[in-house]
Structure 1
């Protein structure tokens, strides 16, 4: 017998949802959503870090004396009372740079108190309840809030501002000249504009962060793809040698006379181990070639085929030359990994010349001093008119692939532009096996 299913959770009613939204608004206007730091605090330029403080000092320095003059001259408010009101209404503007919401909690009650004070003073032919300095200063305050706070906080500030305007208008309808409605309308405009600017800036920041992550992921994916491609090619090289070992070990008892039973058994063990290793490598090859590209099963090329690359480059319209000693182009003259890496470096470098510098004179030089193989591909500036065949930045596979190949052999790679507008690719790979990558290529 299955236990009864639990009852569904109760849904919120209209009253519950309204109370929850009111609590969210109250929390928004009571708790700032940003750290108490000024805008541009992380800017590398000092003048940008100082600019917000200069602005708030200028606003406070301008509004404080103007408010005192207006209160005493136009509304006949006593000097001490006018000074106290002006200080309460304008000095909190100094907090606009880092704590605008807290400044609003001081300025709004001070503005309401100032409006109540002006009821008992001469205000004929003067605006009420918001004199011009008070109204403009309050709009600057709302703009600072809109540029820093979230949308629900802006809604709460706007509603409380509207409630203050409505309350004063209803309390003194015969003295109201419409500035309370004007402030309510202007406050909505300022909050909408400031909020839109803030949200657009946040969207651009998130987009920039996403692009940065995307570029990093694309570079990592390119690196992994190149490593997989190199692994596939090197697998073919190693598989060839493992096949040779298997054949030689299997045929040794037939080719060599006078072998003892122990030696023949040892050759059989070697052949069995080689066949097992070859089977494991073939299973690995299936995984590496998960894209189904059967064409890569062909034997891997070596530097001896560099002449074919140069000839194809010349047919593409690039005047290219090759310097390759005959001793290096002979089969088996170089270690398989170095031989394959040298060919791929020349192939990619020439392809880059065709794509990015069509018509540029190019020279390929391959040399060896017995310990190292040096491959240099240098091209001059493009002589062909017009733009390159590929004006974009490309996938990034070329240089990454060359660097990975050279790093695999323990060599060093140097690439970069030349003063005359050309480009140079230089690789130096040891001919003896090396398990430690070059420090230059591990940067």
Structure 2
């Protein structure tokens, strides 16, 4: 397909700068070493053997195979490789390294071993058949050096491959751990929301059942309506317990009768924390929906846990801003700041759990290094 100069220019701009610098440097050194015997064949061979290194990361197969064409051109002018420019050797080493990274590990070891043993074997055969003189010695040194370089490159390519595989496995494991932490926190949130919803449905059932006895002059259709409401509430409660009961398998029974905590228990939470905590309430404090109250408490609890783990002794400043339609929480500490983009915690949830709680209620969550050091968490929880 024909390409315009603009397209060629855009393709060249996409090449990694370091690869271009390496290719141009090798070409310059190679051409400088051939000034004593300039010829079109030699110049073309040097350029073909060095410039393809600019494609080493964008087009690895081409960068590994095109230098072979350059070597063939050089061979036509000078059949003794030890006479070729050193830049061609460096380009050949890069091409060999690139080729080993492209193929399978087993095939890479086989190819590297064959090249190494082949170079050593050729050196032995040359010494055996040609004897020892200046020219033969140079050829033997060249072949032994080529064998050593081939072996080293094979080892380096395998080390590089191993590091890449380890990095990929670590990234995969980290992503798996994050997903597991998110799933565990969602299960924990589901258990707590189950308690809240179950309490509300139970109250509906109790009020519907007691209505015929507390309200006077109810006719029979009204009594049947209240009975149906109570029956539906009881059935809904049973189905919800049946569906979500598995989530309570790892929750101790003693917690089933305890009320879910809320912001009213913050003083008790601060005493358990043990470190300095400043609380500032902005706006008119008012009762919150139970789910928001519980989530706000859990987020502050997790934030204090993170401070104890990552910045023990740091002062924590908590601001609760009651706005018409949202509760905004700002939690900051004066510790050394985060050691990673996502702090963990002793429970293994860390920022994952806070984010899941905020997003689960349709709110927003942000965690970042504080403007004056430390760590800053900002959360918004809708009140409707």
**1:248: Cα distance to partner?**
1.9
Which deviations, in whole Å up to 9, do the C-alpha atoms of 1:143-165 show, x marking residues without a partner?
Answer: 23331222244455556656766
Match of residue 399 from structure 1: 351
**1:347: Cα distance to partner?**
1.8
Distance across 1 between alignment mates of 2:45 and 2:282: 85
Select which of 294, 307, 310 maps to 2:270.
310
> Residues 181 and 323 (structure 1 numbering): CA distance in 2 closer, same or farther, change over 3 Å?
same
> Residues 356 and 135 (structure 1 numbering): CA distance in 2 closer, same or farther, change over 3 Å?
closer
SS of match in other structure, 1:65: coil
Q: Residues 376 and 425 of structure 1 are in contact (CA less than 8 Å); yes or no, is this contact kept in structure 2?
A: yes
Match of residue 98 from structure 2: 148
Match of residue 71 from structure 1: none
Q: TM-score, normalised by structure 2?
A: 0.74
Match of residue 52 from structure 1: 22
Distance across 2 between alignment mates of 1:210 and 1:296: 39
Select which of 284, 297, 300 maps to 2:260.
300
Check if 1:188 corresponds to 2:147: yes
Select which of 150, 163, 166 maps to 1:207.
166
* Aligned length in residues: 351
Distance across 2 between alignment mates of 1:377 and 1:88: 66
Match of residue 373 from structure 1: 327
Distance across 2 between alignment mates of 1:182 and 1:300: 80
Select which of 301, 312, 316 maps to 1:347.
301
| Larger helix percent | 2
Q: TM-score, normalised by structure 1?
A: 0.66
Match of residue 337 from structure 1: 291
Say which one has the larger Rg: 1
Q: Residues 373 and 428 of structure 1 are in contact (CA less than 8 Å); yes or no, is this contact kept in structure 2?
A: yes
Alignment root-mean-square deviation, CA:
3.9
> Residues 339 and 141 (structure 1 numbering): CA distance in 2 closer, same or farther, change over 3 Å?
closer
Q: Give matches, 1:350-429, under 5 Å.
A: 350-379=304-333, 381-382=334-335, 393-394=343-344, 397-429=349-381
> Residues 205 and 142 (structure 1 numbering): CA distance in 2 closer, same or farther, change over 3 Å?
same
SS of match in other structure, 2:291: helix
Check if 1:274 corresponds to 2:224: no
> Residues 415 and 157 (structure 1 numbering): CA distance in 2 closer, same or farther, change over 3 Å?
closer
**1:240: Cα distance to partner?**
0.7
Which deviations, in whole Å up to 9, do the C-alpha atoms of 1:16-45 show, x marking residues without a partner?
Answer: xxxxxxxxxxxxxxxxxxxxxxxxx764xx
> Any stretches of 5+ residues in structure 1 without a counterpart?
1-40, 69-81, 116-129, 433-443
